[in-house]
Amino acid sequence: MQTSSLFILILALALIAYYTGLKRAQQSRRSSRLLALPAHYGYMTAMLSAFPALLLLLAWMIFEPAYLERQIELNLPASLLQGPADQLNLVINSVYLQIEGTGTADNPLLHKAAAAYNESLQKSRQMIGGLILLLGLSGIVFALSRYLTRLHARRRVEGMIRILLMACSGVAIITTIGIVFSVLFEALRFFESVSIIDFMFGTSWSPQTAIREDQVGSSGSFGAVPLFLGTILISLIAMTIAVPVGLMTAIYLAEYASRGFRSIAKPLLEVLAGIPTVVYGFFAALTVAPFIRNLGESIGLSVASESALAAGIVMGVMIIPFVSSLSDDVIAAVPQAMRDGSLALGATRSETIKQVIIPAALPGIVGGVLLAASRAIGETMIVMMAAGLAAKMTINPLEAVTTVTVQIVTLLTGDQEFDSPKTLAAFALGLMLFATTLILNVFALHIVRKYREQYE
Amino acid sequence: MNSTEIVKRSLHKRYAREKRFQFYGRAAVMVGFVFLAMLVLDITIKAMPAFSVTEIKLEVALDRASLELPAEGEISRQMISAINFGGVIKKALRDAFPEITSRKQKKLLYRLVSGGAEFDLADRLSADPELVGNDSLALWVKADDDIDTFYKLDTRTSRVDDRQVVMIEKLQADERIRTAFNTTLFSAGDSREPEQAGIRGAIVGSFWTLLVTLLVSLPVGVAAAIYLEEFAPQNRFTDFIEININNLAAVPSIVFGLLGLAVFINFFGMPRSAPLVGGLVLSLMTLPTIIIASRAALKSVPPSIKEAALGIGASKMQVVFHHTLPLAMPGILTGSIIGMAQALGESAPLLMIGMVAFIVDVPGGILDSATVLPVQIYLWSDSPERAFTALTAATILVLLGFLTLMNAIAIYLRKRFERRW
């Protein structure tokens, strides 16, 4: 049986359970007083019949592949299993091909394993179908028993819904845990083969491990400092554009602009935030970068075609709305009394802004800038399309540099075995990226919250 | 000199400074506008060539002898698919230019039309076998992409030969070459040849991916928001959930891609490149957006309504599901659409889970290999052929069109159903 048909079976049983519960409750209402509405009894029996079966189905979906693979291994002779891990994978893959009917091997052992696989697949599916039927029916049986109408159905149903709601909000925690564990474990495996000191402080990055061990550069070198430097360089260029422009935009819109102008300008600026990053990447790579190169050449500078400057400028424009909307919020939160006080003393509006509002709003602005910086560090598509691939130790914005995110993508796209240090290095970089942005975010959110409390 | 005079003297400078400051502010706002205008203009100009395509009219001989079919009898589908359509097209080209005899020139001649012309003809014949037996059928076939660029834009690449230019001039004189609307763009999947490449596969892939995202993130997000806003006790666990949601909202999207690769693909063994995995990764990414928007919507429902319902005997759950949630629904939907728009434009995490593969077929479900619009943009922008630049820009316009539509729906919903209590 397919997973989808098992799912339909569960739903059908739940539906039957619902009507049985409902009917039972309606019948007993004639003779005695019920504790809840009849529909609640229906819901309760439906939940009783469906939830355990659903949980079982989920567990089975997770564990079935591993179980079936074990069945294949049990049915293969020991001689085939003793090879190295990748050879074993090859054998198992050819068994899978055999199962799908596309295999070409004439090894009778493989045929036998494939047959055994199919048999255990049948058995496992029959078993799970039977169990689900049993669980679903038990809910219906319970509905028929006389205990049903003695329960307070609404409370039970609401209790179950409440648990369901709580589980949904727990998804956020599970996601975080998932992120931490997936990057941490792979990163730890990476640090088994490359020392953490070499990774953090090494200045040469060339992850291209050769296929044969006797080739030149067979080990690859994983010194990530050039990547950190490149990331910082591009982010700095982006921030030098985004912070002044974003801040001035926020000040102008909050303090000077008329209501009409504001109502047009704000949504237009938010359009900048809504444009997909891949579009910015296209613009940076095909329009801004050639423009900068031509400009540089016309004044006698040699500019790389994938200069850090092009990627940085476009990234800066991308985060302008981010800086401006966060600053706008904090500037608006400065109490009007402070403005009035300063103006009453004879200060001009710009003096009020510079000497009263900005200092008062500074913690909030700093928080916003930190959040923007974390976004710049984690930005992928713009640098992927407009920055280079070769790691270079330079702080010259006219040269091509590479970033942490670019390296993660290049290391993980393309076909390679999952366990090589090359792919594991991507997870180590991911860990660095996650940790950096997490620290920046926590710090920034803390500052912003502290600041809000001050004026509330 | 008393203080009034000092102030008066400095006034001039201070007002100048005030003016300057205001000017900086105005300039800053303008920077954003100018950049936006330049971006849209640049992409629109670049995209224009992709919407039209150059076509060449050929008189194709479809009689049985030229198709190498038996002179009598029923023609089966198999016989049609076995026809050498490439030869048929080449013969039609030779017939159009009887004066060309040298091998070299013939080669140049064959390169005038797209390599996909024979497949178009094959499709046409298998759809309509009645055409077999026609002595000559006037057929507009697509030109090769270099010829196309040359004819449309008058920019010549090194791959267009002088003798080909002469041939095109002859075609032009005979009115046998034209530009038509590029329907392939919206009806075909990806291809290595720009004139045969379309974005249908990417659009359908985006649709399946977003469907999964919506089906997962909307129920889970709304449920989480209801719990946090209406039921969660004030304790450490609740605080922890909230901190997590705020942090997830700021985690770089590429990290979600790493999670998808390590957990969904390597641990659970889900298929690579599938919209199912892409959708799951994107739902984890949009979940914070939906939760935050839904909480704001739930919070804006006035307590008097809840209290009135509680007062006439509703349970807390009934209050939420019968009153608060329906009233908050417009706000929740608006937030969800904005979250979906974000997901539609996202590409970095999808690169990690293999949705960057070169896929020609239009995906038929959530388990087929697929790519999505932004990733298609990324893939094409790397191509050296000039014609792909135009296709990329056109795809960007289509993507921006979808995003505008979604945001317009969100704004409409907000305007239509927004209630001030």
Q: Is B402 on the interface with A (CB under 8 A)?
A: no
The arithmetic mean of pLDDT across residues A395-413, rounded, is: 88
The arithmetic mean of pLDDT across residues A361-387, rounded, is: 91
The answer to whether the Cβ–Cβ distance between B345 and A274 falls below 8 Å is yes
Mark whether B343 and B222 lie in a shared domain. yes
Q: Which domain holds residue B382?
A: 200-417
| C-alpha dist (Å) from residue B106 to A87, B94, B115 | 52, 8, 15
Q: Is B24 on the interface with A (CB under 8 A)?
A: yes
In a domain, B186, yes or no: no
Mark whether B213 and B338 lie in a shared domain. yes
So what's the pLDDT on residue B188?
Answer: 85
Complex ipTM > 0.95: no
The class that CATH gives domain A221-455 is mainly alpha
Q: Reply yes or no on whether the pLDDT at A414 is more than 70.
A: no
Tens of pLDDT, residue by residue over A415-445, are 556 667 788 889 999 999 999 999 998 888 8
pLDDT band (50, 70, 90) for residue A333: confident
pLDDT band (50, 70, 90) for residue A103: low
Q: Reply yes or no on whether the pLDDT at A214 is more than 60.
A: no
The arithmetic mean of pLDDT across residues A99-112, rounded, is: 66
Bridge-partner residues for B60, per DSSP? B137
Structure tokens that stand for A56 in this block: 């079982």
Which of A171, A306, A405 is the best mutation test for B, with the most CBs of B within 10 A?
A: A171
So what's the pLDDT on residue B287?
Answer: 94
CATH number at residue B330: 1.10.3720.10
Q: Reply yes or no on whether the pLDDT at A280 is more than 90.
A: yes
Mark whether B209 and B159 lie in a shared domain. no
Tens of pLDDT, residue by residue over A305-324, are 888 999 999 999 999 999 99
Residues in chain B closer than 8 A to A264 (CB atoms): none
So what's the pLDDT on residue A77?
Answer: 67
Mark whether B24 and B129 lie in a shared domain. no
So what's the pLDDT on residue A364?
Answer: 87
Q: What share of chain B is helix, strand, coil (3-state, %, to 5)?
A: 70, 5, 25
The arithmetic mean of pLDDT across residues A321-338, rounded, is: 90
So what's the pLDDT on residue B39?
Answer: 94
Distance CA B90, CA A127 (A): 62
Compare B144 and A95 and report the one with higher pLDDT.
Answer: B144
Mark whether B133 and B249 lie in a shared domain. no
Mark whether B271 and B403 lie in a shared domain. yes
So what's the pLDDT on residue B354?
Answer: 84
| C-alpha dist (Å) from residue A359 to A49, A331, A351, A364, A451 | 62, 10, 12, 10, 12
Mark whether B344 and B285 lie in a shared domain. yes
The answer to whether the Cβ–Cβ distance between A282 and B392 falls below 8 Å is yes
The answer to whether the Cβ–Cβ distance between A172 and B248 falls below 8 Å is yes
Q: Please give, rounded to a whole number of angstroms, the shortest distance from the CA of B252 to a CA of chain A.
A: 5
- DSSP sequence for B367-402: TS----HHHHHHHHHT--SHHHHHHHHHHHHHHHHH
Comparing CB atoms, the residue among A178, A349, A378 nearest residue B18 is A349
Residues in chain A closer than 8 A to B220 (CB atoms): 168, 171
Mark whether B323 and B402 lie in a shared domain. yes
In a domain, B306, yes or no: yes
H-assigned helices in B273-372? 275-299, 303-311, 316-319, 325-345, 348-352
Distance CA B205, CA B220 (A): 23
Q: For every one of its 421 residues, what pLDDT tens digit does chain B have, with 9 covering 90 and above?
A: 788 888 888 889 999 999 999 999 999 999 999 999 999 999 999 998 888 888 888 888 888 777 777 777 777 777 777 888 888 888 888 888 888 888 888 888 888 888 888 888 888 888 887 777 777 788 888 888 888 888 887 777 777 888 888 888 888 888 888 888 888 888 888 888 888 888 999 999 999 999 999 999 999 999 999 999 999 898 888 888 888 898 898 899 999 999 999 888 888 778 888 999 999 999 999 999 999 999 999 999 999 999 999 999 999 999 999 999 999 999 999 999 999 999 999 999 999 888 888 888 888 888 888 999 999 999 998 887 778 888 999 999 999 999 999 999 998 888 888 777 6
Q: Is B119 on the interface with A (CB under 8 A)?
A: no
| C-alpha dist (Å) from residue A252 to A326, A328, A353, B47, B322 | 14, 9, 10, 35, 45
Predicted TM-score (pTM) of this structure:
0.87
Residue type, B196: Q
Tens of pLDDT, residue by residue over A79-92, are 666 666 666 666 66
Bridge-partner residues for B113, per DSSP? B143
Tens of pLDDT, residue by residue over B245-301, are 988 988 999 999 999 998 888 887 788 889 999 999 999 999 999 999 999 999 999
Comparing CB atoms, the residue among A168, A317, A418 nearest residue B227 is A168
Q: Please give, rounded to a whole number of angstroms, the shortest distance from the CA of B27 to a CA of chain A.
A: 8
Which of B6, B238, B258, B383 is the best mutation test for A, with the most CBs of A within 10 A?
A: B258
Q: Look at chain B and report how many structural domains it folds into.
A: 3
| C-alpha dist (Å) from residue A150 to A36, A241, B313 | 10, 69, 21
Comparing CB atoms, the residue among A62, A255, A445 nearest residue B246 is A445
So what's the pLDDT on residue A165?
Answer: 93
The answer to whether the Cβ–Cβ distance between B25 and A244 falls below 8 Å is no
Smallest CA–CA distance from B232 into chain A, residue:
A166
pLDDT band (50, 70, 90) for residue A332: confident
Domain ranges of chain A: 3-151, 221-455
Bridge-partner residues for B56, per DSSP? B141, B177
Burial class (CB within 10 angstroms; exposed 0-12, middle 13-18, buried 19+) of B114: buried
Residues in chain A closer than 8 A to B210 (CB atoms): none
Minimal CA–CA distance to B34: which of A66, A265, A116?
A: A265
Smallest CA–CA distance from B22 into chain A, residue:
A252
Mark whether B208 and B71 lie in a shared domain. no
DSSP state of B144: P
Smallest CA–CA distance from B376 into chain A, residue:
A278
In a domain, B104, yes or no: yes
Q: Which residue has the tokens 């002179």?
A: B71
